[in-house]
Amino acid sequence: MLTRALVIGATGQIGYELVPALRKLYGVDNVVAGYHSKKPSGVLLEGPVEQVDVSSRESLEAVIKKSDFDEVYNLAALLSAAGEKNPQLAWKVNMIGHYNVLELAREYGFRVFWPSTIAVFGPTTPKYKTPQHTIIEPITMYGITKYAGELLARYYVQKYDLDVRGVRWPGIISSEALPGGGTTDYAVEIFYYAVEGKPYTCYLREDTELPMMYMPDAIKSVIQLMSANKARLKLYVGYNVSAFSFTPRQLVEEIRKYIPGFKVEYKPDFRQAIADSWPKSLDDSVAREEWGWSPDWTFEAMVKDMLVKIARKLGKKLDIEE
Ligand SMILES: NC(=O)c1ccc[n+]([C@@H]2O[C@H](COP(=O)([O-])OP(=O)(O)OC[C@H]3O[C@@H](n4cnc5c(N)ncnc54)[C@H](O)[C@@H]3O)[C@@H](O)[C@H]2O)c1
């Protein structure tokens, strides 16, 4: 049977790579890339696109009505740093948008993927190997909306028997679309500076350890969770998923193995306090148990692959064996 899917927030860092991955599985014409203020470009234009504002029920329903969607991937959000600049809009997009998708899922019967984040954790959460179930007292609007969103999604699963699934991603590193305003954005930006031969100013302290994941594993987590046997799922949303952790200093040292002269200075800004409130590593045993999660990429392999891809993108020559 053909699956029809809508990806909301398709022009973002993750949507830009999830849309082609889903089109490979379901067929190009069966995956609609939903965009908002940022116009779709590149690979997204190889298939159907629709403008959709997730915070407006009317806008969302107009798109839902046009097609008989089996699945909706709601990636629309204001992330941690962007959310602190405009908390009111973050509430509207992250919370009301999520509610609109769940309400329409109740009426139209589609399955939902909706990601949460390590930003649900706060300063009182244990920092190392943070368990699935632990103290959760987020301090950002982003974290507050995502934790409330996890509870809301689980409510719809219990009350209305909806099929809503999702993970708690750490910082995602990728080479295609640029990140859109998170606290872990440095770990993507830094590669562009390194490859261009420019010095980089990092907005986090050099010893700030955070959990991260390479995009191919993030995409794998979506596809694996969405295709998991429903009977095995207990949690449905907010699964901790983990790959590796590193500090800015460790990332710089790894990049210098390929670009020895790379210069970096550290000038922490408001994002330092956000990063300090997050875990340094995650326990993802519940995801492993319930739907067989495991990552493929190591830190070292990710750094090498990012350098190769960013160099190709910028038309620069680096002496790296592929
Ligand atoms: N990138 C990460 O490191 C990371 C980590 C954890 C969780 N996540 C989650 O993954 C999802 C996608 O994140 P991302 O990094 O791709 O974010 P992003 O900021 O790159 O993209 C967000 C997208 O949402 C769209 N959008 C904003 N307002 C909208 C509205 N009203 N209606 C429809 N679309 C709207 C934007 O145009 C953009 O395309 C988010 O839910 C985020 O919380 C991301």
Q: What share of the chain is helix, strand, coil (3-state, %, to 5)?
A: 45, 15, 40
**Beta carbon of 211 within 6 Å of any ligand 1 atom:** no
Ligand 1 centroid to 11 CA: how many Å? 8
At 58-117, the pLDDT tens digits run: 999 999 999 999 999 999 999 999 999 999 999 999 999 999 999 999 999 999 999 999
At 154-170, the pLDDT tens digits run: 999 999 999 999 999 99
Are 240 and 132 in contact by the 8 Å Cβ rule? The answer is yes
pLDDT at 320: 83
Classified by CATH at the fold level, domain 5-170+236-240 comes out as Rossmann fold (3.40.50)
| The pLDDT of residue 301 is above 80 | yes
**Beta carbon of 304 within 6 Å of any ligand 1 atom:** no
Q: Active-site residue 142, yes or no? A: yes
| The pLDDT of residue 24 is above 90 | yes
DSSP 282: B
27-56 average pLDDT score: 97
Q: pTM score, two decimals?
A: 0.98
Point out the catalytic residue in the list 16, 35, 73, 142.
Answer: 142
Burial 12-43 (b: 16+ CB within 10 A, else e): bbbbbbbbbbbbeebeeebbbbbbbeeebeee
**Beta carbon of 55 within 6 Å of any ligand 1 atom:** yes
5-170+236-240 and 172-212+243-314 have identical folds = no
121-130 average pLDDT score: 98
Residue % of the chain over a pLDDT of 90: 98
Residue 59, classified by CB atoms within 10 Å of its CB into exposed (0-12), middle (13-18) or buried (19+), is middle
**Beta carbon of 95 within 6 Å of any ligand 1 atom:** no
At 255-275, the pLDDT tens digits run: 999 999 999 999 999 999 999
| The pLDDT of residue 319 is above 90 | no
pLDDT at 160: 98
Confidence of residue 321 (pLDDT cuts 50, 70, 90): confident
Confidence of residue 9 (pLDDT cuts 50, 70, 90): very high
Confidence of residue 2 (pLDDT cuts 50, 70, 90): confident
pLDDT at 216: 98
| CATH superfamily of the 172-212+243-314 domain | UDP-galactose 4-epimerase, domain 1 (3.90.25.10)
Are 290 and 234 in contact by the 8 Å Cβ rule? The answer is yes
Ligand 1 centroid to 74 CA: how many Å? 9
Residue 100, classified by CB atoms within 10 Å of its CB into exposed (0-12), middle (13-18) or buried (19+), is buried
Ligand 1 centroid to 159 CA: how many Å? 27
Are 102 and 156 in contact by the 8 Å Cβ rule? The answer is yes
Give the nearest ligand 1 atom to 16 CA.
16
CA–CA distance, 301 with 152 (Å, rounded to integer): 37
Are 78 and 40 in contact by the 8 Å Cβ rule? The answer is no
119-147 average pLDDT score: 98
Q: Where is 20: in which H helix or E strand?
A: helix 15-26
At 193-251, the pLDDT tens digits run: 999 999 999 999 999 999 999 999 999 999 999 999 999 999 999 999 999 999 999 99
Domain range list for the chain: 5-170+236-240, 172-212+243-314
Ligand 1 centroid to 199 CA: how many Å? 28
Ligand 1 centroid to 78 CA: how many Å? 6
Give the nearest ligand 1 atom to 53 CA.
32
**Beta carbon of 76 within 6 Å of any ligand 1 atom:** yes
Confidence of residue 296 (pLDDT cuts 50, 70, 90): very high
